[in-house]
Amino acid sequence: MNVVISVDMEGVCGVASWVQVSPPEFGGLVNGTEYQAARTQMTLEAAAAAEGALAAGATGVLINDSHDTMRNLLPELLPRGVRFTTGNDKPLSMVQGVQEEGVGALLFVGYHARAGSVRGPLAHTWNGFIRDVRVNGRSTGEYGLNALVAGHYGVPVVFAAGDDVALTEITAELGEQVVTVPVKEGLSTYAAVHLHPQDARDRIREGAERAVRAAAQATPYTTQWPARTELRFDHQARADQCERVPGVTRVNAETVAWESGDALHLFGMFRMLARVAEVRLNA
């Protein structure tokens, strides 16, 4: 069985500030010191999950860089034999690779809570101006959208590492089949209590191994189709733009909605509308 590891950065051990997850050219410190430390830990946590998956008998591991520009991984820190994907123009974005033949499990590393979460460090969904995403009335985050895409291909989510708020949300939506490893406890949007980085990596390795060993019994995530998705923004001007897209309806000042027959359409519409909504608010 092959596995895919989707690794984000906001949920890794030691991270509690946007400065830490922003490359210097995109708002990080001039010398990039904090970003470099965070990307190193991101890579090492992904490597730990890969080692656990391989120890459980995975025949192939693909690590998908899923943060921001998606050019954060330090390949020389990854275990030999794995493959990795970089670049932010991937058809399936954060879960690129789940469509490949033989993939039997998806693992989340460095995941964070959804937009609007209380005490979730750097909690957000996709960008800074999406306030809520609801699929068939249920509020979800990046984890839920990604799980639906994986489920479209029959691939279950079996593991998640990140902050405790995110993992509570993931368990509530995806079920107890997901082995969770909290690497930090959220105190607020910009504060957390962290494990020692090596302890976090050790726990991730052990948890990933346990999750992959049990993956054959896991169930892919889905919802009722056709599904109604509602997308709420921070400003009505964003909804103004999205309302003009065919198939999209206006719900209220800041919210639009659409229906999808499957997860690929839902995800494609979500990504497109997130881009359409990037409108200047001081025009």
What does the alpha-carbon distance between residue 94 and residue 113 come to, in Å, rounded to a whole number? 15
What does the alpha-carbon distance between residue 120 and residue 123 come to, in Å, rounded to a whole number? 5
- Which residues fall within 8 angstroms of residue 251, CB to CB, at 6 or more apart? 230, 257
Please check whether residue 145 is in contact with residue 214, taking contact to mean a CB–CB distance below 8 angstroms. no
Structure-block tokens of residue 78: 């990854």
Q: Is 235 annotated as a binding residue?
A: no
Q: C-alpha dihedral over 113, 223, 96, 255, to 10 degrees?
A: -60
What does the alpha-carbon distance between residue 259 and residue 266 come to, in Å, rounded to a whole number? 8
- 152 catalytic? Reply is no
Q: Is 10 annotated as a binding residue?
A: yes
Separation in Å, CA 70 to CA 8, 66, 86, 169 = 9, 5, 5, 24
Tell me if residue 149 falls in helix, strand or coil: helix
Q: Is 142 annotated as a binding residue?
A: yes
Strand duo 249-252 + 138-140: pairing: unpaired
What does the alpha-carbon distance between residue 52 and residue 210 come to, in Å, rounded to a whole number? 8
What does the alpha-carbon distance between residue 46 and residue 63 come to, in Å, rounded to a whole number? 7
What does the alpha-carbon distance between residue 185 and residue 198 come to, in Å, rounded to a whole number? 16
Please check whether residue 144 is in contact with residue 213, taking contact to mean a CB–CB distance below 8 angstroms. no
Structure-block tokens of residue 97: 């690779």
Binding positions for Zn(2+) are 8, 10, 67, 112, 142
Active-site positions read 124
Binding positions are 8, 10, 67, 112, 142
